[in-house]
């Protein structure tokens, strides 16, 4: 599962056509858009053939690099992941993952039920050699550029070695996708001093020293996520999920406040258009759906999970990221990095 | 330590005159302002007498309800709390806490080293009967009104019973200070479903059911902090501190972005003043220093810890909160609430 196509060969991406709040339109039309942008790739839309055909019919033309794989079921956003994946063997998620396992696709993209994507890839592909727990790496906006936070919630019971793996994996991702040779890695904590933090933080910092990992990691506080000083922020999944949701919620609240205050301070009709642009640009800068999805790192395959709210453009962006990590073989890069660091043998 | 003055008697508040980024001016002049606003209270400025006198000299007049207690040392913002508190016996923090222990003051206010305040009150006063761990309850702005998050970092190794105590204590605080009879309490987690969350969350939800606590608590996600749906948000201190700092950092980043975008979209001189008001109002809505400090709940005394950045007005507000929780006997309210719930016996 960790082999990738050569740089110039055709990459096949299995797209969950039924997943996301705006499915089936957003994933299907987003898939179409990605197919146009990636002439050397094939987009396999996985889902109900009739629904896919109907949606494709509204498009002016369907590129030749679009394929359809029928799947009779869909996993709902609110379904319990492990149960849904076990029961719905013909769901778009399970079928897309299976397509990759059979070597008939190189990557999997979904804006659907995140937990189901994690469960399906774990069951279907297994973990990358040497990695105990997968992590989701989400991109967050900062004052200058953005940062990648891992784990955003794939795994809620975390050990130091998992955090170290997140650092290796997210750094490899940032190196590959953004071309940053030496990503700066922060370990999310409650103080920059090494003696602050809880037991997990202290154990992780000790392990980082022991491993002589090239990427390193310094303890940081929550406010450092958004300054742009760090390319990667590592934390356990419960913390990462709360941090992500807190940031989303606060961004929404502050933008709503901005809109209200703008209306009060600049009520004249001649400034209305400018005020609306201010709000729109703030929304754009903070809309996580715009970044095109988050890789699920540590599974033995290429998987991009996008925000449920993803629109057509976000889907197209996410599929392009899936194509890139697949073509450039992110997992081989991760395996090479893991082999470089001196780690204590895994617990059994 | 848990007795409080009668409603109409004189309340004495020991103010750390040397603590905070803007000390000594902010705590001293803030103390003066509080003394004017609280004619039935006495403000005891604790710190270097010479420094205090010099600062008071710039004020047009010094009210009669200002007293000075000399303390020759000060604990720096960056000092290690437990060591500093043990070594600097004549520091403003240690002396102010001691004044309360001796019954010569009813409450303690500081914008200084938070850890040192926690350590000094724990050493000097001990914990409130039945409470295992104190928690800091910070006020965060929401879309409508605000919410109180506890614990923001007093304690980084947390058990279910501590979270239950935070819920009881923070609810009592909100009831007393804001007059909300039945505060809505959220338990910060990664899903609204009870089966989501880590082990601590599951144990805490079970304990809430067992205790038949009137305030209850529902699992919430990070984004619910800022909607105004919850009066109290309970979480363990490591998570709370990261959440608080994340919110502070993101608010700063978004307001900076807003200012930049406003300048680009509304560059005309005639809209400059309005644009500046927009930014100023956003800053005001999100400036935690404006809320006047956070109670340290669970220690056997009245303690308000303010943000290091607190200005004169924030200090004055914080001292008034200290006066209120002292006069209205918050700790007795907490003890009564704790006595009401059926809790398993504490571990020894």
Q: Count Cα atoms within 13 angstroms, Cβ side, for B326.
A: 29
Q: Which residues of B are less than 8 Å from A248 in CB distance?
A: 222-223
pLDDT value at residue A5: 54
| Region of residue A228 (phi > 0: left; psi between -120 and 50: alpha; otherwise: beta) | left
The tokens for A138 are: 């989400």
Closest chain B residue to A245, measured at CA: B222
Check: CB of residue B39 under 8 Å from CB of residue B66.
no
- Pick the residue of B118, B155, B257 with the most A CBs within 10 A to test the interface with A by mutation: B257
pLDDT value at residue B159: 94
- Give the mean model confidence (pLDDT) for residues B185-192: 92
| Nearest beta carbon to residue A271 from set B199, B257, B271 | B271
Is a pLDDT exceeding 90 seen at residue B3?
A: no
The B residues from 154 to 183 touching A (CB cutoff 8 Å) are 156-157
Q: Do residue B249 and residue A242 have CB atoms under 8 angstroms apart?
A: no
CB pairs under 8 A between A and B: 175
Q: Do residue A243 and residue B245 have CB atoms under 8 angstroms apart?
A: no
Q: Is B319 exposed, middle or buried (0-12, 13-18, 19+ CB in 10 A)?
A: buried
Closest chain B residue to A282, measured at CA: B258
Measured CA to CA in angstroms, residue B288 lies from A307, B68, B139, B275 at distances of 31, 28, 7, 22
pLDDT value at residue A2: 45
Is a pLDDT exceeding 70 seen at residue B348?
A: no
| Nearest beta carbon to residue A198 from set B157, B199, B246 | B157
Residue B2's pLDDT band (boundaries 50, 70, 90)? Answer: very low
In this structure, of A287-291, B16-20, B87-91, the range with the lowest mean pLDDT score is: A287-291
pLDDT value at residue A344: 60
Query: Predicted ipTM?
Result: 0.91
Closest chain A residue to B152, measured at CA: A190
Q: Which residues of A are less than 8 Å from B220 in CB distance?
A: none
- Give the mean model confidence (pLDDT) for residues B66-93: 96
Q: Is A332 exposed, middle or buried (0-12, 13-18, 19+ CB in 10 A)?
A: middle
**CA-CA distance, A4 to A313, in Å (whole number)?**
26
- Pick the residue of A79, A147, A222 with the most B CBs within 10 A to test the interface with B by mutation: A222
- Give the mean model confidence (pLDDT) for residues B71-94: 96
* Residues B267, B270, B272, B277, CA torsion sign: negative
pTM for the whole structure: 0.92
Tell me phi and psi for residue A220, to 5 degrees: -130, 170
The B residues from 13 to 72 touching A (CB cutoff 8 Å) are none
Q: Which residues of B are less than 8 Å from A265 in CB distance?
A: 274-275, 277-278, 281
| Region of residue B329 (phi > 0: left; psi between -120 and 50: alpha; otherwise: beta) | left
Q: If you compute the radius of gyration of chain B from its CA atoms, what whole number of angstroms results?
A: 21
Q: Do residue B242 and residue A251 have CB atoms under 8 angstroms apart?
A: no
Kindly state the DSSP code that residue B112 receives in the 8-state scheme.
S
**CA-CA distance, B42 to B123, in Å (whole number)?**
25
Measured CA to CA in angstroms, residue B135 lies from A22, B293, B295, B299, B305 at distances of 42, 13, 8, 9, 11
B82 shares contact with chain A (CB less than 8 Å): no
Measure B58 CA to nearest chain A CA, in Å: 36
Residue B284's pLDDT band (boundaries 50, 70, 90)? Answer: confident
Q: Enumerate residues 6+ apart whose C-beta is below 8 A from B162.
A: B132, B133, B135, B151, B155, B236
Tell me phi and psi for residue B240, to 5 degrees: -65, -40
pLDDT value at residue B289: 54
Residue B7's pLDDT band (boundaries 50, 70, 90)? Answer: low
Check: CB of residue A108 under 8 Å from CB of residue A121.
yes
pLDDT value at residue A1: 47
b/e per residue A196-233 (b: at least 16 CB within 10 A): bbbebbbbbbebbeebebebbbbbbbbbbbbbbebbbb
**CA-CA distance, B256 to B132, in Å (whole number)?**
41
The B residues from 282 to 321 touching A (CB cutoff 8 Å) are 282, 285-286
**CA-CA distance, A228 to A230, in Å (whole number)?**
6
Reported in sequence order, the residue ranges of chain A that DSSP labels E, i.e. its strands, are: 11-16, 41-47, 66-70, 107-110, 135-141, 146-150, 185-188, 218-220, 232-234, 294-297, 302-305
| Region of residue A20 (phi > 0: left; psi between -120 and 50: alpha; otherwise: beta) | left
For residue B259, the tally of other CB atoms under 10 A from its CB is 16
b/e per residue B80-107 (b: at least 16 CB within 10 A): bbeebbeebeebbbbbbbbbbbeeebbb
Enclosing H/E stretch for A275: helix A269-286
Beta bridge partners of B186: B218, B233
Measure A272 CA to nearest chain B CA, in Å: 10
Closest chain A residue to B273, measured at CA: A265
Q: Count Cα atoms within 13 angstroms, Cβ side, for B271.
A: 24
Measure B125 CA to nearest chain A CA, in Å: 24
Beta bridge partners of A150: A137, A234
Closest chain B residue to A146, measured at CA: B253
Q: Which residues of chain A have pLDDT under 50?
A: 1-3, 348
- Tens-place pLDDT, residues B129-150: 999 999 999 999 898 889 999 9
- Tens-place pLDDT, residues B308-337: 989 999 999 999 999 999 999 999 999 999
Q: Which residues of A are less than 8 Å from B253 in CB distance?
A: 141-143, 226-227
Check: CB of residue B192 under 8 Å from CB of residue B220.
yes
Measured CA to CA in angstroms, residue B261 lies from A202, B24, B265, B271 at distances of 40, 37, 6, 13
Check: CB of residue A191 under 8 Å from CB of residue B77.
no
B270 shares contact with chain A (CB less than 8 Å): no
Kindly state the DSSP code that residue A295 receives in the 8-state scheme.
E
b/e per residue A32-59 (b: at least 16 CB within 10 A): bbbbeebeebbbbbbbbeebbeebbeee
pLDDT value at residue B4: 53
B222 shares contact with chain A (CB less than 8 Å): yes
- Tens-place pLDDT, residues A25-75: 999 999 999 999 999 999 999 999 999 999 999 999 999 999 999 999 999
Measure B99 CA to nearest chain A CA, in Å: 30
pLDDT value at residue A341: 77
pLDDT value at residue B287: 74
pLDDT value at residue A345: 58
The tokens for B321 are: 């909160």
Q: Enumerate residues 6+ apart whose C-beta is below 8 A from B89.
A: B73
């Amino acid at each position: 599962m960790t082999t990738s196509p050569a740089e110039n060969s055709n990459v096949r991406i299995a797209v969950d056509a039924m997943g996301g709040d705006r499915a089936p339109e957003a994933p299907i039309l987003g898939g179409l858009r990605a197919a146009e942008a990636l002439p050397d790739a094939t987009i396999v839309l996985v889902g109900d053939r009739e629904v896919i055909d109907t949606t494709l019919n509204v498009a002016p033309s369907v590129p030749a690099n679009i394929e359809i794989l029928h799947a009779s079921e869909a996993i709902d956003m609110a379904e319990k992941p492990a149960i849904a994946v076990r029961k719905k063997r013909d769901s778009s998620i399970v079928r897309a993952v299976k397509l990759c396992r059979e070597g008939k696709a190189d990557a999997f993209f979904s804006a659907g039920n995140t937990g189901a994507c994690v469960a399906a890839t774990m069951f279907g592909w297994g973990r990358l050699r040497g990695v105990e727990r997968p992590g989701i790496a989400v991109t967050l906006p900062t004052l200058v550029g953005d940062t990648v936070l891992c784990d955003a919630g794939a795994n809620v019971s975390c050990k130091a070695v998992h955090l170290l793996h997140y650092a290796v994996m997210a750094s490899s991702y940032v190196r590959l996708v953004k071309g940053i040779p030496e990503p700066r890695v922060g370990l999310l904590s409650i103080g920059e001093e090494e003696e602050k933090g809880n037991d997990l933080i202290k154990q992780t910092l000790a392990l980082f020293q022991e491993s002589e990992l090239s990427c390193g990691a310094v303890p940081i506080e929550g406010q450092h996520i958004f300054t742009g000083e760090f390319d990667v922020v590592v934390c356990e999944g419960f913390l990462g999920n709360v941090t992500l949701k807190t940031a989303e919620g606060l961004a929404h609240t502050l933008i709503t406040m901005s809109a209200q205050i703008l209306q009060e301070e600049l009520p004249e009709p001649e400034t209305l258009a400018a005020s609306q642009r201010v709000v729109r640009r703030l929304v754009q800068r903070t809309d996580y759906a715009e970044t095109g999805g988050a890789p699920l790192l540590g599974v033995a395959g290429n998987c991009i999970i996008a925000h449920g709210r993803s629109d057509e453009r976000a889907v197209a962006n996410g599929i392009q990221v899936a194509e890139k990590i697949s073509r450039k073989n992110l997992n081989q890069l991760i395996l090479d990095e893991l082999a470089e660091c001196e780690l204590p043998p895994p617990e059994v």
